[in-house]
Structure 1
Amino acid sequence: MKNEVEPKINTPGIIVLQWLTYAFWGLTIFAASLLSASVIAYFMNPTNNNDFSAYATAAVLVLLPISVICDIFYSKQEPEHKTGAASIIMIIYAVLFALFGIGALIAIVFSLVQLMISSSDITNTQIALYSEMIVVVLYAVTFLRTLLPAKLVKFRRLYIVFMIIIAGIISTLSFIGPVTNAQLTRDDRLIDNNLNYIQSGIDTYIHTQNKLPENLSVISVTGDAKKIVDNKLVKYTPNSKTPLVTQGTFNPSTSTTTYYYELCVNYKSAASDSESTYTPVQTDSRDGYNSYIITFNHPAGDYCYKVSTSTDFLSK
């Protein structure tokens, strides 16, 4: 009699390993999808700076090896014809991957329609379209890996190679583009997120002392705002314009003083808000001074924010 190959038994350990394999591949695809969208968004609009790509890249680099290791060990024990609990787990994840893939396919159709009928900027639509194309491919091959038809059993290792190549390309582009840019522009984000606190500290000083501070070391700021001051990332110029004294309208015996100053910084990269149009001069007055600071739109290089602040009405 010929030696028959004993069928592989679904032990609890193999069932757990099967579940982990499918689950980690699903998480890897999710992280890779987010990373691909972030990378595509960066290369299509480099002024849209954010550090999200670094976290997505880290997630891919952590999840991918875990998924590969689980798949390699599971492949050695994976039954050719799944039954019982193994078939149930396979069906659950196959359905999930199919649904996510179909959802991405629907999103592609929506994006194509948007490209045809939209009269506004289509950059975000293009980003969504290219990202969803990658998502569809990833879910399609993972769906096949999960079902593992008899004709594809010998080629399941190609799935691992394919995923490593795709994740490697996306991660490399992430390091070349958004991750490197995030590192170079970290001071830019520090300034953008905390310059308003510097203004608030100056305003508080004016309202208590009735004059502009001579330098930023005397204002009360903490945390990252203090870091901006300590690292000399902002240059403060007091009385950049002669203070304006205004007499009270309803009570002539009172007056208020408007002080003018500049906060100048150096940006490594330009930034723009996709929802608004960039204006070189952020002001609502003719002399270029504003009572608030808008940091989401600015050019690269040296840039000065002209700020005006008024005291409370005081008796003469």
Structure 2
Amino acid sequence: DAFNRFIDEINLVAAFEWWEGSVHSILAVLAYPCAWSWKQWRRRKKIHRLQEYVKSEYDHSCLRSCRSRALYKGLKVGSTPDLMVAYIDFFLGGDEKRLDVAATIQKRFPMCLIFGGEGSYMSPYHLHSDTLLSNLLGQYVSTAIWNRLVAGLNTQLRSVKQGSIRSTLGPVVSWIKSHGNPQLERHGVRVELGWFQATASGYYQLGIVVAVNENFYKSHHHHEHAPDFGDRSRKNFAVPLLGSKQAIQDQPCTSYGVSRKRLTGGVTGGVINEETLKSLDYKRDYLFPLSLLLRNCRPIGYAVSNH
């Protein structure tokens, strides 16, 4: 249909060319800081190209609103500050507003939010919460409570290392259980750490699952392993996540201890808790020591800010 064609076109525009990857590989061998700067520059160009495509080239045929299609409004491309994750905002047109929107939104939970960053010193994992997301969740919790949760979670995520997923994610799981959820559960909201796999490429992404229906967790937490979830990502609301070609921050996933289920158009993944955390793994290659040394070099154009 029109939406699937739109996703295919977006993936085509966002995909890197072969020569871009070749230049990055060469720079990674000769001068890794330059490779990091090159990759960030190309990401910035890609996001700008996506914004131009959605704003002026795409006919907005996937939207139901006649007004939005005619005015080329209703879609907006955004990204995390580090350019690691891109997303699209879908806005409701004035001619399709309904009184049952709040009830419809509640049916879309649980909602998947992908972390930005890559688990390194220069680009730690973090949860990007913009005004749109804050206003959306503000229907259930106050903005102040949500912002405190995001700030505390990002503080915990700074210590998560890409090569030590199991050992460094443990404190994050404990913090969510002891500090994050007690504040949210008073308002009927709960968050859980999760992993997501958009394609069968063998890579997964980290994020959180936001649920407003407590029965979702009560009915599944009796099992030893975490449940799978279908298409409950931000794309069901105003900010859908793009495919894995755009969400560049990935981890090699070698674990199959967590049960999986792929739904058509859905997201494969599971909740990370004390039991399933043991099943996560990060595959290192023989050049890991050299890669660790190179990744600790300061890239060109990267400034360290003191607070």
Q: TM-score, structure 1 length as denominator?
A: 0.20
- Judging by fraction of residues, say which structure has more helix: 1
Higher RCO structure (Cα 8 Å, ≥6 apart) = 2
